[in-house]
Amino acid sequence: MGEELKVIVFSLAHEQYGVEVEKVRTIERMQPLTRVPKTPAFVKGVINLRGVVVPVIDLRGRFGLPEAEYTDNSRIIIVAVKDMEVGMIVDSANDVVDVDSDAIEQPPEIVGGIRAKYLRGLAKLSDGRLLVLLNLEEVLNKSEIVQLEQFGE
């Protein structure tokens, strides 16, 4: 057995995704966003989270998936990668699961329309579900979200 990874499970366009618990700061309900001019369409704006301005991206938009109305289940997952905190809007945040690192396979080139560079791997859970693990360093790639740098500094 490999090492156990604790993973937050969330859904996006009827697929299950996961990010490592240690990269997640908090999970928030949807709240009003302040729009920011001259940012990519998937950058929805910023929120003031307990005195800290946090940029928020819509993961559906980031991955080129069709946008959807936000619902009572929509959540903003605040993640920290390197020196950046970013909120990611997801359809719902469902669960925390343990994933055996040996159960993680390399992702195919495209999963659900999402390019492999954004994916860390596919994990088969003990209950048979397939979980797509995100590569947050690429999802939040600064050169692609360069306009976000002006916030939070």
Query: Could you tell me if residue 58 is inside a domain?
Result: yes
Query: Could you tell me if residue 151 is inside a domain?
Result: no
**Domain at 65, CATH number:** 2.40.50.180
Query: Could you tell me if residue 95 is inside a domain?
Result: yes
Please state the φ and ψ torsions of residue 140, each to the nearest 5 degrees.
-105, 30
What is the domain extent for residue 115? Answer: 4-142
Query: Could you tell me if residue 13 is inside a domain?
Result: yes
Both tokens of 34, joined, read 């302040």
Tens-digit pLDDT profile for residues 71-89: 999 999 999 988 889 999 9
Both tokens of 97, joined, read 């699961």
Residue 106 has pLDDT above 90, yes or no: no
Instruction: Supply the pTM of this predicted model.
Output: 0.87
Answer whether 114's CB lies under 8 Å from 54's CB: no
Beta-strand runs (E) in the chain: 4-12, 15-20, 24-29, 43-49, 52-58, 75-81, 84-90, 92-100, 104-105, 110-111, 114-115, 119-124, 130-134
Count structural domains, the chain: 1
Query: Could you tell me if residue 24 is inside a domain?
Result: yes
Tens-digit pLDDT profile for residues 13-53: 888 999 999 999 999 999 999 998 888 889 999 999 999 99
